[in-house]
Amino acid sequence: MANWWWMICLAVIGHSLARVFVQIGSLNLDPTIVAGLLLLSPIITVLVAPFTSGETISILQAIGIVLEAVAYQNDLHIALLERIRGVKPEIKSNG
């Protein structure tokens, strides 16, 4: 039972400290940059895990990383936000 107590303490304290440091560090940054960096956390975890704990990336995780990168590159996140807000998307011309 004592092992579980220390595991819970480690999880709560580690998570709390991480959130405090994120809040302190994001005070002088643009909120959109902070949000983007926080969304990268799962991707960074998947990419770092093989080196730190010997885990392997599954094909589903690799597909998710590629889809997120492609969606971000093509500004699909902006289109999704406009759709959620009910704003009509702008039609951009190449000329």
Task: Say if residues 65 and 49 touch (Cβ distance below 8 Å).
Answer: no
- pLDDT tens for 28-68 read 888 777 877 777 777 788 788 888 888 888 899 889 888 87
Q: Are residues 11 and 47 in the same domain?
A: no
Structure tokens at 85: 């807000």
State the virtual CA torsion across 92, 29, 31, 60 in degrees, nearest 10.
80
Q: Are residues 55 and 87 in the same domain?
A: yes
Residue 90: per-residue pLDDT:
64
Residues shown for the chain: 95
15 occurs within a structural domain: yes
35 occurs within a structural domain: no
What type of residue sits at position 43?
A: I
45 occurs within a structural domain: yes
Q: Of 43, 25, 45, nearest to 33 (Cα)? A: 25
Residue 94: per-residue pLDDT:
59
- pLDDT tens for 63-73 read 988 887 887 77
88 occurs within a structural domain: yes
- pLDDT tens for 1-17 read 778 888 888 888 877 88
> Which domain, by its residues, includes 16?
1-28
Instruction: Please tell me the total count of domains within the chain.
Output: 2
Q: Are residues 62 and 90 in the same domain?
A: yes
